A and B are shown apart, each in its own frame.
Chain A
Amino acid sequence: MKVKQVSIFLENRQGRLAAVTKALGSNDINIRAFSVADTADFGVVRLIVNDPNRACDILRANGFMVTITDVLAVEVPDKPGGLAYILEVLQKARLNIEYLYAFVEKRSDYALVIFRLEDIDTALKVFEENNVSLAPSQEVYQL
């Protein structure tokens, strides 16, 4: 099941990330997970939030450049070799990972890892065939 991720373009300047979190916080948007990728001049902040569409509208209204991307929230068994198995499944299927990052919170025996994959639909099939479980999007937003 696909999860909607909000990506924001930010210049590498003081206070920009704070401006994003402030705009979301004051509008009751809760951030579930996030990652920042950056270069010398700019960065892209990726967020999993409780209401991605509304978060997008709020950020746009505040002048940010925003886009929504589909990602997968993979339940990774919290034991040695847990992530290795999933990466192996992807490698065998020759699926490229653009990036991944982990949720801070964890559920019972699973760590939750966000995968952004080149070919998300094939990945969905491959995961199903190899018994890799995905967290349902509604559950992810409400974590």
Chain B
Amino acid sequence: MREIQTERLISVVRRCYEHVPHYREAFDSHGVHPDDIRSLEDIVKLPFTYKNDLRDHYPFDLFAVPKREIVRIHASSGTTGKPIAVGYTQADIELWAECVARSLVCAGVTSDDIIQIAYGYGLFTGGLGLHYGAERLGATVVPISGGNTKRQVMLMRDFGVTTLACTPSFAAYMAEEMRDSGIPEEAFKLRIGIFGAEPWSQSMRREIESKLNLCAIDIYGLTEILGPGVSCECPCQCGLHIFEDHFLPEIIDPETEEPLPEGEIGELVFTTLTKEAAPVIRFRTRDLSRLYYEPCACGRTLVRMERIMGRTDDMLIIRGVNVFPSQVEAVLLSVGDVDPHYQLIADRSARHMDDLEIRVEMSEALFNDEIRKIEDVEVHIRKEIESALGISVKVKLVEPKTLPRSEGKAIRVVDRREL
């Protein structure tokens, strides 16, 4: 694997330098030349690519091939500003289909399965990405796209659909619709769910699995790198196998930008090794994860990434320690809080010391009629969080539904320090 990766890394770096002015400038100003890249370890010499680079060169300035070789363009909507556009050559489309087909096999899907693709079709990579991969595998594709839940449920029953591909939130919504439809559970043949394109928690996974009566598999990808199919879980559900012969992963400390050792939480960075039209070097995903290199119980030796644990935007640095909301969430889940609502508040005291307060909404699992027992719970949570983070914190229990949410999404982090 290392040999293939090294050979491909050297080649992609050269192609970027020769065909994309942005990379030539970035490499030059970083004082690095393609000739300096001889091994995988040399990758740290290369500059990072940021989402902003893709925005600034919108639409086509990062393409490494002449426009006539581009056979398709996908774009991400750009909720936070300008959109980005990504081109694909015929070979890229085939690579993509190959990676999605591998993902599906990894998830346990076979050519005998009927797969309902309820990701949106169009500029979004979800629908068409899954579509080509499922066809490559030889499964039967139901290209229904998103929306129209009633029809989704009807066809799922009529066609005997065995595999559902969509976002986890749509899957949860569909489960409600199935229950309301009055159709008996036995009428559905679902066995595997391919869910991705948005973060979801372990408790959400278990809920979807029990409601839809299937094995819920996490698939990962991003438009900047490819679309879905960069990595995918196997039925062991113990990390997503990265197709590292095409996408070389690194984990870095988002602050220092230094690579982190195996198993440590940090920002996921990808370099595409084989893509022709829109190769990217050391793309900063802003997704938090960690990497495991030991072989999986399923027998695959591909490096695994932990399911996305949050965004780097949510990271706090308290007294020099990186703190991620997901670490707090893990502690709350471990004390029995099934759907924890919490918020990290960083503040700076008069003595210029950073303080971290963690507010946790009271839940059934934590509440007790006796003050003493609530205090015990509070102390227990504090100690567990302190041991997970390695810094002292304050824990404050608050009433349900009092922590601010923006458009239904929890605001996990508030930084009140004036730096």
Contact = CB atoms under 8 A, between A and B. Distances in A.
Contacts of B399: 9-11, 16, 63-65
A11 B402 contact: yes
A41 interface: yes
Contacts, number: 46
A44 B372 CA distance: 11
Contacts of B362: 9, 65
Contacts of B401: 63
A116 interface: yes
A39 B369 contact: no
Interface in A1-23: 5, 7, 9-11, 16
A46 B371 CA distance: 11
A64 B375 CA distance: 19
Contacts of A99: 370
Contact of B369 (A11, A42, A116): A116
B398 interface: yes
B371 A38 contact: yes
B397 interface: yes
Nearest to A116: B369
B247 to A, nearest CB: 45
Q: Dominant SS at the A interface?
A: strand
Contacts of B398: 11
Nearest to B397: A42
Interface string A32-50: 0000011101111010000
A39 B363 contact: no
Given A42-B397, A64-B399, A65-B400, A9 B367 contact: yes
B214 interface: no
B374 A67 contact: no
Contact of A37 (B364, B371, B396): B371
B202 interface: no
B210 interface: no
Nearest to B396: A41
B369 A64 contact: no
Contacts of A65: 362-364, 367, 399-400
B161 to A, nearest CB: 37
B181 interface: no
A61 B363 CA distance: 14
> What band does the interface of chain A fall in when counting residues whose beta carbon is under 8 Å from B?
20 to 34
A9 B401 CA distance: 13
Nearest to B401: A63
A26 B325 CA distance: 40
Given A9-B362, A11-B399, A67 B368 contact: yes
Contacts of B363: 65
B374 A44 contact: yes
A41 B397 contact: yes
A44 B397 CA distance: 12
Contact of B400 (A39, A42, A46, A64): A64
A139 interface: no
A98 interface: yes
Contacts of B397: 9, 41-42
Interface string B265-282: 000000000000000000
A63 to B, nearest CB: 5
Interface in B110-169: none
A37 to B, nearest CB: 5
A7 B371 CA distance: 11
A91 interface: no
A98 B370 contact: yes
A69 B369 CA distance: 7
A48 B371 CA distance: 18
Contacts of A64: 399-400
Interface in A43-59: 43-44, 46
Q: Among A38, A41, A67, find the residue whose CB has the most chain B CB atoms closer than 10 A.
A: A41
Interface string B366-394: 01111100110000000000000000000
A42 B374 contact: yes
Q: Among B370, B396, B400, find the residue whose CB has the most chain A CB atoms closer than 10 A.
A: B370
Contacts of A42: 374, 397
Q: Among B397, B399, B400, find the residue whose CB has the most chain A CB atoms closer than 10 A.
A: B399
A14 B90 CA distance: 65
A8 to B, nearest CB: 9
B396 A46 contact: no
Contacts of B402: 11
Interface of B: 362-364, 367-371, 374-375, 396-402
25 contacts: A5-B369, A9-B374, A9-B399, A10-B399, A39-B371, A41-B397, A42-B374, A42-B397, A43-B371, A44-B369, A44-B370, A44-B371, A44-B374, A63-B400, A63-B401, A64-B399, A64-B400, A65-B362, A65-B364, A65-B367, A65-B399, A67-B369, A69-B369, A98-B370, A116-B369
List 4 tightest A-B contacts by C-beta distance, closest first.
A7-B369, A65-B362, A69-B369, A9-B362
Given A5-B369, A9-B367, A38-B371, 13 more contacts: A9-B397, A10-B399, A11-B398, A11-B402, A43-B371, A44-B370, A63-B399, A65-B363, A65-B364, A65-B399, A65-B400, A98-B370, A99-B370
